[in-house]
Chain A
């Protein structure tokens, strides 16, 4: 009969109306400022710089100012100035560090290319999306002080990825320490071969990680 479809439709919406008051499962709305949904792990907004030490973020940035990200950045929103001096990095090696590291978030398109190209795992994507600012220039231009966030924060927002990165970094540092140890041992052996009374003790490893490693096979 003409009109029966209309009545069926009216019944459906009436059910929705009544259900919306007693069945919270029907509701799709999240009342945002008060309630928040969990952000998926792979969500990304803008880049940040990883620092090893939360107490001294500027002294322990992983970034060595190699400027690869600056060159690769498609909208060119990264501005880096190398330092004049060098500082020891996490592995104790002397490295340059970024005297200036700015990201213009009004330009950044969140493409993650800087993260892909970084050989030092020093720049990662953040999940902060409440980025409203009252001023266009200084507030949207993130300096290195505002970009630096500790590794523990990285673990917090991207747990899987951060565990993988940390595993790789530890392995690399271990290999580097072993290499250094082997080199030192070889040096010591060479020194011992000379007829001079010298200690055969190898040079102390630079970092704690290296000390824990087993003695070199050579």
Chain B
């Protein structure tokens, strides 16, 4: 076991050691002083996040298109191979299409070379700033996510608060985009987007609060550490496996879908119905930036969901800890993203009234009840033996009964639909 833990230890630390070595090397070579050294140290972290999640974004787009295709019995993009530099290499070129995996790079080149059109009447400065701000804020949320046991860009006590503050700031950028375009449709859809985002901000945050109650910390790293034990070495103590955690996770999933403007809540930019919502007047790379921010937001929210409910970088079984923690984190993150794509390929888009009704009449009350449930769980940590069973039973009843009652009330008069004249 010592050899295994030794190798695990080495891999856990290896990227950090590499960074420290690079900083030291450059410090010696360039004679950097304290402040510059600190800046270099953080710059390397930032570049790493940008590189890793930039690539992650690129491959999410291709994975999404391929998966959606498969969900609809299509093939998805599989044409883009490597460019044919036949003239450079004497007529030789790489013939394999690489399963279309270089598609995102082709898309990026296309977006970069497209003409950037700014409406004549637009507020030029805000029109330019909106995509920049939306990307900046969605990237800022990555700063407090613990990607591995030792991998957290900024260790902050109020990390959750920071995450939601930075995440909600993108709403400002969306309204900026709608308003600065000087197009009434952009403005209207920006307002709709805002209505949606504000409606779902509430259940999103409320679903996270029970975790804060139970762990009594706002630090993401401590929340992950609180989930780091196993019953019999195989059953992980992730919060998703508790009644209140499971309910919170489901509320979180639905709200995260709505917060990241994804199907079935993609009303602000409903491709098949509207032109492009608040993105109507954007083209070329600015549009690509909004697109990028949307995926960054989705990735960040998925990563937060993984951190809070799915045990973060913790391995599902004790003996699986040989695999480095950051790989577990990325694996869980990929599973979350795949689930979101699966949902996108399955569900139909909601109407705006259905959307807000779902939030205010169902998710918010349920999240509030779940908050009570989490408080109960936090107060009964000492219960053991038969009381432990009672604790689980009470917690399950407290959340399942309101779910069933409210669910019945929400769907009365809506389903199942009967057709009078059609067979």
Interface residues of A (CB under 8 A from B): 1-3, 5-6, 9-10, 12-14, 16-17, 19-21, 26-29, 31
Alpha-carbon distance A27/B70, docked complex (angstroms): 9
CB–CB B71/A16 < 8 A: yes
Contact check: which of B72, B343, B404, B411 meets A16 at CB < 8 Å?
Answer: B72
A23–chain B nearest beta-carbon distance, Å = 9
Name the contact of B71 in the complex, choosing from A3, A13, A27, A31 (C-beta under 8 A). Answer: A13
- The answer to whether B71 and A17 have CB atoms under 8 Å apart is yes
Q: Tell whether, in the assembled complex, residue B70 and residue A20 are in contact, meaning their CB atoms are under 8 Å apart.
A: yes
In Å, the complex CA distance between A1 and B342 comes to 21
Shortest distance between the CB of B337 and any CB in chain A (Å):
15
**B225-236 contact mask (Cβ, 8 Å, vs A): 1 or 0:** 000000000000
Q: Is B54 an interface residue (CB 8 A)?
A: no
> Is B408 close to A, CB under 8 A?
yes
Over the window 63-74 of chain B, the binary record of Cβ atoms lying under 8 Å from chain A Cβ atoms (1 yes, 0 no) is: 000010011111
Other A-B pairs beyond A2-B410, A13-B346, 7, CB < 8 Å: A2-B407, A2-B408, A13-B71, A17-B70, A20-B74, A21-B70, A29-B75
Other-chain contact of B73, A2, A14, A26 (Cβ < 8 Å): A26
Nearest-neighbor residue (CB-CB) of B339 within chain A: A10
Chain B residue with minimal CB distance to A11?
Answer: B346
Contacts of B74 in A (CB 8 A): 20, 27-29
Establish whether residues A14 and B403, one from each chain, have CB atoms under 8 Å apart when the complex forms: no
Whether A16 lies near B73 (C-beta < 8 A) is: yes
| Closest residue on chain B to residue A5 by CB atoms | B415
Interface residues of B (CB under 8 A from A): 67, 70-75, 342-343, 345-347, 403-404, 406-408, 410-411, 415
The interface residues of chain A lying within 8 Å CB-to-CB of B346 are 6, 9-10, 12-13
Q: A1-B407, A2-B411 are in contact. Are A14 and B342 (CB under 8 A)?
A: yes
CB–CB B347/A6 < 8 A: yes
Check A19 against B73 for contact (C-beta < 8 Å): yes
**Would you call B342 and A13 a contact (CB within 8 A)?**
yes
The answer to whether A13 and B345 have CB atoms under 8 Å apart is yes
B72 neighbours in A (Cβ, 8 Å): 13, 16
User: Given the complex of chains A and B, what is the CA–CA distance between A17 and B74 in angstroms?
Assistant: 9
- Chain B residues closer than 8 Å to A19, beta-carbon distance: 73
Query: A10: which B residues are within 8 A, CB to CB?
Result: 342-343, 346
* B345 proximity list for chain A (CB < 8 A): 13
Q: How far is the CB of B339 from chain A (nearest CB, A)?
A: 9
Closest chain B residue to A12 by CB distance?
B346
Q: What's the least CB distance linking A82 to chain B, in Å?
A: 49
> Which residues on the B side are within 8 Å of A3 (C-beta)?
407
Taken together as a complex, chains A and B put the C-alpha atoms of A1 and B71 apart, in Å, by 25
Q: How far is the CA of A10 from the CA of B344 in the complex (A)?
A: 10
- Can you report 21 residue pairs joining A to B where beta carbons are below 8 Å apart? A1-B407, A2-B403, A2-B404, A2-B407, A3-B407, A6-B347, A9-B346, A9-B347, A10-B342, A10-B346, A12-B346, A13-B71, A14-B342, A16-B73, A17-B67, A17-B70, A17-B342, A19-B73, A20-B73, A20-B74, A29-B75
Shortest distance from the beta carbon of A170 to any chain B beta carbon, whole Å: 49
A9 proximity list for chain B (CB < 8 A): 346-347
Q: Which residues of B contact A12 (CB under 8 A)?
A: 346
Please, which residue of chain A has its CB at the minimum distance from the CB of B73?
A26
Tell me the complex Cα distance, A192–B211, Å.
122
Which chain A residues lie closer than 8 Å to B408 at the CB level?
A: 2
Q: For the complex of A and B, list the 9 residue pairs with the smallest distance between their C-beta atoms, beginning with the closest.
A: A2-B407, A13-B71, A13-B346, A26-B73, A9-B346, A20-B70, A17-B70, A29-B75, A17-B71
CA distance A135 to B403 in the complex (A): 66
B335 CB → nearest A CB, Å: 14
Q: In whole Å, how far is A173's beta carbon from the nearest beta carbon of chain B? A: 52
In the bound complex, residues from chain B placing their C-beta under 8 Å from that of A21 are: 70
Complex CA gap A58/B67 in Å reads 55
Complex CA gap A10/B408 in Å reads 21
